[in-house]
Chains A and B, each alone.
Chain A
Amino acid sequence: MSQTSAGDQKYFLPRAGLEPLVGILRQRGYTVLAPTRRDEIIALAPVESADQIARGVHDHQDGGRYRLTQADPEVMFEYGPGADSPKRYLFPPELPLVELRVRGNRFIPTSQPPAIAQYAFLGIRACELAAIKVQDRVFGLEGQDTLCADAAEYYRRTRRRALLIAVNCTRPGGTCFCASMGTGPAATEGFDLSLTELRDGFLLTVGSQAGAALGAELDLRAPTSAEEGLAEMKLAAARAHMPRHLDTRGLKERLEQTIDDPNWERVAARCLSCGNCTMVCPTCFCFTVSDSSGLTDGVYGRTRRWESCFSHQFSYVAGSGPVRSTIAARYRHWLRHKLCTWQDQFGVSGCVGCGRCITWCPVGIDLTEEAQRLGRHVPGAGAVPIPKAGGTKEALP
Chain B
Amino acid sequence: MLAKSPIPKVPPKSRLAVFKFSSCDGCQLSLLNLEEHLLELVDAVEVAYFLEARRRELPPPYDVGLVEGSISTPHEAQRIRQVRRDCRYLVAIGACASSGGIQALRNWADIGDFVGAVYPNPQYIRTLDTATPIAAHVFVDFELRGCPVNHAQLLELVSALLVGRRPNVPTSSLCLECKRRGLPCVLVTHGQPCLGPAVQAGCGALCPACNRGCYGCFGPMEQPNLNSLGDRFLELGASHRQIKHLLRMFNAYLEPFKQASDHHERLEQQK
Contacts and interface: CB of A to CB of B under 8 A. Distances in A.
B197 A276 contact: yes
Contact of A43 (B165, B182, B193, B237): B182
A307 B82 CA distance: 40
Contact of B236 (A43, A292, A310, A396): A396
A279 B175 contact: yes
B188 A65 contact: yes
Interface in A365-397: 388-389, 391, 393-397
A279 B201 CA distance: 14
Contacts of A311: 170-173, 176, 222
Interface string B217-246: 000011111011101100111100010000
B163 interface: yes
A355 to B, nearest CB: 13
B37 interface: yes
A72 interface: no
Interface string B168-194: 101111011001111011011111111
B227 A41 contact: no
Nearest to B196: A274
Interface string A19-49: 0000000000000000000111101000000
Given A65-B191, A274-B198, A296-B43, A396 B176 contact: no
Contacts of A397: 190, 192
B207 interface: no
B140 interface: no
A67 B179 contact: no
Given A273-B223, A290-B168, A311-B176, A396 B193 contact: yes
A392 B229 CA distance: 16
Contacts of A395: 237
Most chain B beta carbons < 10 A, residue from A274, A364, A394 = A274
B154 to A, nearest CB: 11
A308 B237 contact: no
B41 interface: yes
Given A279-B176, A362-B185, A271 B159 contact: no
Residue among B171, B179, B187 facing the most chain A CB atoms (10 A cut-off): B179
B225 A271 contact: yes
Contact of A363 (B156, B224, B228): B228
A275 B171 CA distance: 12
A64 B155 CA distance: 36
Given A276-B185, A312-B223, A270 B228 contact: yes
A218 to B, nearest CB: 31
Given A40-B189, A306-B180, A391-B235, A272 B172 contact: no
Given A272-B197, A274-B173, A363 B237 contact: no
Given A83-B185, A273-B223, A293-B163, A393 B236 contact: yes
B113 interface: no
Contacts of B179: 83, 93, 275-276, 279-280, 306
A228 interface: no
Given A295-B155, A389-B235, A40 B190 contact: yes
B40 interface: yes
Interface string B11-43: 000000000000000000000000001001101
B225 A83 contact: no
Of B165, B180, B237, most A-chain CB atoms within 10 Å: B180
Given A270-B228, A308-B176, A327-B225, A292 B182 contact: no
A39 B184 contact: yes
Given A271-B228, A305-B180, A393-B236, A66 B188 contact: yes
Nearest to A290: B168
B188 A306 contact: no
Cβ-closest 5 pairs across A and B: A279-B179, A311-B172, A274-B197, A93-B180, A312-B222
Interface of B: 2, 37, 40-41, 43-44, 155-156, 158-160, 162-163, 165, 168, 170-173, 175-176, 179-182, 184-185, 187-194, 196-198, 211, 221-225, 227-229, 231-232, 235-238, 242
19 contacts: A83-B185, A84-B182, A269-B228, A272-B197, A275-B172, A275-B176, A276-B175, A276-B197, A293-B159, A295-B43, A305-B180, A308-B176, A311-B171, A311-B176, A313-B2, A362-B194, A362-B196, A364-B232, A391-B191
Given A276-B179, A276-B185, A293-B163, 16 more contacts: A41-B189, A66-B185, A83-B185, A272-B198, A275-B176, A279-B175, A291-B165, A292-B156, A293-B162, A294-B159, A311-B171, A312-B172, A313-B171, A362-B175, A362-B187, A391-B235
